[in-house]
Chains A and B, each alone.
Chain A
Amino acid sequence: MENIERQIRESVAKVIKVPAEKIDPDADLFKELGVDSLLGVEIFATLDKQFHIDIPENKLEKIKTLNDIIAVAKEKINAR
């Protein structure tokens, strides 16, 4: 699970073009890191592509931080 956390952090960093180590896992990606809502969709599209984690539409607007993304990803992986 630690490995998946690291991989997700790296993927998110690549999408939003910020060094992985600079992302505070509790920072609001949209308000604090300047991610617009469609770049946010690209993060979820990347998780879907790379890790087969399909985040449903009704959860998208509730996800704000890297930790939120990791929590949803773990939930999806555990449900497999």
Chain B
Amino acid sequence: MQDSPLDRDTSSYWRKLLKMDAPADSGLINKADSPLKIFRPSFNSFINRFSQRHFSLSCEGSERLPSPPYIIASNHSSIFDFPAILFCLPPGHRDKIVAMYKGFYDKNPVTRFFIKLFVRSIPVDLEKKPWEALSGAAMLLRSGNSIYIAPEGTRSKGGEVLPFKVGVGTLAVETKCPVVPVFIKGADKALPRGSFFPKKAPIKVFFGKPLDSAVFFDKKNNTAAYDVYKEMTESIRQKILELSVL
């Protein structure tokens, strides 16, 4: 069966599923936050001081960050990845960021407590209905917030960058928000997967040049939406790999 280029544009269904044309839902936006936020400044200040002393946390390229909203996508090898990025963001950007995290952690009350204490966040059900989290993230972006996402979907071992899930490309293309590729070096040694106690090891965060998602948006006219999302996702992964050799 030969289909015309017009038949390949499947984005209207995606946009409906991601509620791209729905008005902002303040309930959904507020759901990303938690009453624990009142303790956040002091908790984060403590973690920040600890990370400066214990990990000699350093940052490069944060001046490349555009104005919010944007998407930060990074490699993921440690639970310290997001905190490292957060403490490298300029002050005006920190309270705009919302982290997407694996829904698995939401089932454990202890991990859920610490995630909610630390940052505004959205759990992602990777297996069954990831579009729910993507639609929430899209709404947050449209209301001026930025999103952090670890597209590998899980922590890698030994610093390897795993294949990326397509959600990051979907979110970027549909919202047309710029994506900042980030490589975190050393977190896999300081606090690797399976380890509970941090080791004294340096962590450095590299911010890359933002990718323009809008140029991918128009490609959907001639290509299946998923293929465009996948191409965007691969471009992001490639940029992160380039940062990893700096």
Contacts and interface: CB of A to CB of B under 8 A. Distances in A.
B224 interface: yes
- Report the 5 A-B pairs with minimum CB-CB distance, sorted nearest first: A42-B226, A45-B13, A45-B10, A48-B13, A38-B166
B186 interface: no
A42 B128 contact: no
Contacts of A18: none
A68 interface: no
Q: For this complex, into which size category does the number of interface residues on chain A fall?
A: 20 to 34
Given A45-B13, A46-B224, A38 B167 contact: yes
A8 to B, nearest CB: 11
Given A36-B165, A36-B166, A37-B130, A45 B225 contact: yes
Contact of A11 (B1, B12, B17, B225): B1
Given A15-B226, A41-B131, A42-B224, A49 B166 contact: no
Contacts, number: 62
Interface of A: 7, 10-11, 14-15, 36-39, 41-42, 44-46, 48-50, 54, 57, 60-61
Q: Which of B127, B224, B226 neighbours the largest number of chain A CB atoms within 10 Å of its CB? A: B226
B129 interface: yes
A46 B10 contact: yes
Interface residues of B, number: 25
B14 interface: yes
B128 A45 contact: no
B226 A50 contact: no
- Most chain-B CB neighbours within 10 Å: which of A14, A38, A39, A42? A38
B10 A61 contact: no
Contacts of B17: 41, 57
Contacts of B13: 41, 44-45, 48-49, 54
B7 interface: yes
B192 to A, nearest CB: 26
B1 A10 contact: yes
A48 B10 contact: yes
Given A46-B10, A48-B12, A38 B170 contact: yes
Nearest to B127: A37
B3 interface: yes
B14 A41 contact: yes
A60 B135 CA distance: 15
A50 B3 contact: yes
